[in-house]
Amino acid sequence: MCEGMSIFLSSNSTMYSSEHIQPHFFSFSLHQLIHHRIQKMKEQVQELHRDITRRKCLSKKEAVSDIVDECSQVDIQINTQVATLEHMKIVFQRVGR
């Protein structure tokens, strides 16, 4: 983020500096990270599914356990992200008034 960058909202003549905006960009980065982790898990689950159905081999209990643990971690991150977005929604609604 550029230092000293600011945004002017003409609706209520309020000026926001990069310090105010920075957390929102962090939230977007976290969203991208969560998306990437979900894609990775999807590929892992597809690979396990292929092992069981096409290759007729048993999946490793360790691999399944790792995916389940990853799902739990992502679930926590998603819930945190939802709470953050709800808070941001309230803040932006106040600004828009």
Q: What is residue 1's three-state secondary structure? A: coil
Per-residue confidence in pLDDT tens, the chain, 97 aa: 344 444 444 444 444 555 555 565 566 788 889 999 999 999 999 998 888 888 777 778 898 899 999 999 999 999 998 998 898 888 888 887 7
pTM, entire model: 0.62
> Which run of H or E residues covers position 10?
none
| Domain ranges within the chain, ordered by starting residue | 34-97
